[in-house]
Chain A
Amino acid sequence: MTDLFGLLSFGSGGWGDDLARGVVVTITLALATLPLGLALGLGVALLKNAKGRIARALGELYTTVFRGLPELLTILIVAFGAPRLIAALTGATVEINSFVAGVVALGLVFGAFSSEVLLAAIRAVPKGQSESAAALGLSRRLAFRLVVFPQLWRVALPGLSNTWLVLLKDTSLVSVIALADLTRQTNLAVNATKQPFFFYLVACLLYLALSGLSTAIARRLEARADRGFAAAGR
């Protein structure tokens, strides 16, 4: 039993440092995907909220495709297809490394899911708010930053933190394109030590810790966003 824990030691004999490196890659991947995913999500949400029929249809199409495709398939299509697509369009031969492929694929998926959340949040802020802000003489930028965005953020936060949790778990799929995340490092450890149950259990516990940490942070953010807001039934 004690030698099982010995396998987790840091340093050349143990796999602890390799797993730790995997955790770092997992977190980095998720954090790198976040800005891309949010930007896409906001863009698509605005498309779906637009007046034009074509814009709305485009937004719907994007959401349908990237919410409907299995994330694993999206990752494989981006990893194998993107170089070919770029080569076909521009004639330039580009090498797409696995990290970039992972960020793009997961970003496309995150964008699709978060667009629904952001759309609901945009619609939840009454038009009167921006109108009053304008009446008070606030510029469009200030109006968005001080009036609209905090209300939008408050409504969107629970949905977005849910989507974040799903993103954290989806990062495990990049192990299939040989990116050295936590799952892949665990695979390597298992191949070398022939102790799959122990190592996969440790990996699961590490993911649980990451989820728990994210939930705690999300709750803090929600409490802060809720300040000064009187909710029904509290």
Chain B
Amino acid sequence: MSSSRFAFAGAAALALACALIAGPAAAKDWSKIKIGTEGAYPPFNVVGADGQVQGFDIDIAKAICEKIKAECTFVAQDWDGIIPALLANKYDAIFASMSITDERKKTIAFSKRYYQTPALFVTDKRNASMGTSTDAMKGKTIGAQSSTVSGTYLQDVYEPAGATVKLYATQDEANLDLASGRLDAVLGDKTVMLPWLEKSDGGKCCQVIGQDIRDEKYFGEGIGAGLRKEDIELKELIDKGIAEILADGTYEKINAKYFPFSLY
């Protein structure tokens, strides 16, 4: 008698368990999206005086969210941990001026690009005559932010040629060491370095050398939103959003707010 009751209870429990496990396997509802950003990369993403993040990346993300009818919240995250935190589900997408590269594609997926800018070398005015070829940089100490395409470029191209490469947790720390003379040059994004040179006190020391660097292998296909590989639906939604804001002029408006030239 009791054994059949146990069997019944067991079957019921098993069915319940299956329902619970099968539940989350249903399609995810993307009406609420958490977005991760760095918050230390003006003018693309920076934490304002009120504690909220703002900048080009944030405005683009908000515009996309409006188009796909999602409610978006923002989370600030240290740059070095920004991809691990995405993989740990701390947020669902990264809008932090992250370059689309093959190396990153090994761990995450990307949306289509939403802007593209080259990199350039910045150095102290006292070194204005320095060249930017690998030969010219031999024996020099050059820096970039760690976990960035600039950092990777320096490590893979300039370090084997004899330069000493130093990497920093934030762009600011690299700039600080450039200003104090610890670095001979810094490689960074053009649209980040130019405002630093022109508008900040610290930037008065320094100037651009050489040409824009657009090496396809390292600087990739532009900047995109970082996503987890399994969130295919979210990628499609964001791609749609990007296409829509490009088509109806929203992108142009946001672009004009920050830069006189087109970023796309």
| Direct interface between A and B, CB < 8 A | yes
Using a CB–CB cutoff of 8 Å, the interface residues on chain A facing chain B are: 12, 79-80, 83-84, 87, 93-96, 177-178, 191, 194
Q: Of all chain A residues, which has the CB nearest B172?
A: A191
Tell me the bound Cα distance from A52 to B174 in angstroms: 55
Q: With a CB–CB cut-off of 8 A, which chain B residues contact A79?
A: 81
A sample of 24 cross-chain residue pairs with beta-carbon separation below 8 angstroms, ordered by A number, consists of A12-B49, A80-B81, A80-B84, A83-B88, A83-B89, A84-B88, A87-B88, A93-B88, A93-B89, A94-B88, A94-B89, A95-B88, A95-B89, A95-B90, A177-B78, A178-B77, A178-B78, A178-B81, A191-B170, A191-B172, A191-B173, A194-B176, A194-B201, A194-B202
Q: With a CB–CB cut-off of 8 A, which chain A residues contact B202?
A: 194
Q: Tell me the minimal C-beta distance from A21 to chain B in angstroms.
A: 11
Interface size on B, residues (CB 8 A): 14
Q: Of all chain A residues, which has the CB nearest B79?
A: A178
Q: Is the CB of A96 within 8 A of B88?
A: yes
Tell me the bound Cα distance from A177 to B173 in angstroms: 16
Q: Tell me the minimal C-beta distance from A27 to chain B in angstroms.
A: 21
Tell me the bound Cα distance from A229 to B170 in angstroms: 56
Q: Tell me the minimal C-beta distance from A79 to chain B in angstroms.
A: 7
Q: Of all chain A residues, which has the CB nearest B38?
A: A178
Q: With a CB–CB cut-off of 8 A, which chain B residues contact A191?
A: 170, 172-173, 176
List residues of B (87-137) whose CB comes within 8 Å of A's CBs. 88-90
Q: Tell me the minimal C-beta distance from A4 to chain B in angstroms.
A: 16
Tell me the bound Cα distance from A177 to B89 in angstroms: 17
Task: Scan B206-220; emit 1 where CB is below 8 A from any A CB, else 0.
Answer: 000000000000000
Task: Scan B171-190; emit 1 where CB is below 8 A from any A CB, else 0.
Answer: 01100100000000000000
Q: With a CB–CB cut-off of 8 A, which chain A residues contact B172?
A: 191
B77, B172, B202: residue with the most chain A Cβ atoms closer than 10 Å: B172
Q: Of all chain B residues, which has the CB nearest A191?
A: B172
Tell me the bound Cα distance from A95 to B36 in angstroms: 13
Tell me the bound Cα distance from A177 to B80 in angstroms: 9
Tell me the bound Cα distance from A79 to B170 in angstroms: 19
B81, B84, B88, B90: residue with the most chain A Cβ atoms closer than 10 Å: B88
Q: With a CB–CB cut-off of 8 A, which chain A residues contact B173?
A: 191
A94, A177, A194: residue with the most chain B Cβ atoms closer than 10 Å: A194
Q: Tell me the minimal C-beta distance from B80 to chain A in angstroms.
A: 9
Tell me the bound Cα distance from A194 to B202 in angstroms: 8
Chain A to chain B: the 4 pairs with minimum beta-carbon distance, closest first: A83-B88, A93-B89, A178-B78, A95-B90
Tell me the bound Cα distance from A93 to B88 in angstroms: 7
List residues of B (2-28) whose CB comes within 8 Å of A's CBs. none
Q: Tell me the minimal C-beta distance from B77 to chain A in angstroms.
A: 7
Q: Of all chain B residues, which has the CB nearest A194?
A: B202
Q: With a CB–CB cut-off of 8 A, which chain B residues contact A177?
A: 78, 81
Q: With a CB–CB cut-off of 8 A, which chain B residues contact A12?
A: 49
7 more A-B contacts (CB under 8 A) besides A93-B88, A95-B89? Answer: A79-B81, A83-B88, A95-B88, A96-B88, A177-B78, A178-B77, A194-B202
List residues of B (53-101) whose CB comes within 8 Å of A's CBs. 77-78, 81, 84, 88-90
Q: With a CB–CB cut-off of 8 A, which chain B residues contact A84?
A: 88
Tell me the bound Cα distance from A79 to B84 in angstroms: 10
Q: Of all chain A residues, which has the CB nearest B50?
A: A12
Tell me the bound Cα distance from A177 to B77 in angstroms: 9
Q: Of all chain B residues, which has the CB nearest A86?
A: B88
Q: With a CB–CB cut-off of 8 A, which chain B residues contact A178?
A: 77-78, 81
Q: With a CB–CB cut-off of 8 A, which chain A residues contact B90?
A: 95
Q: With a CB–CB cut-off of 8 A, which chain A residues contact B170?
A: 191
Q: Of all chain A residues, which has the CB nearest B78?
A: A178
Q: With a CB–CB cut-off of 8 A, which chain B residues contact A95?
A: 88-90
Tell me the bound Cα distance from A86 to B170 in angstroms: 29
Tell me the bound Cα distance from A96 to B78 in angstroms: 14
Q: With a CB–CB cut-off of 8 A, which chain B residues contact A96?
A: 88
Tell me the bound Cα distance from A87 to B202 in angstroms: 44
Q: With a CB–CB cut-off of 8 A, which chain A residues contact B176?
A: 191, 194
Q: With a CB–CB cut-off of 8 A, which chain A residues contact B201?
A: 194
Q: Of all chain B residues, which has the CB nearest A97?
A: B90
Tell me the bound Cα distance from A195 to B132 in angstroms: 31
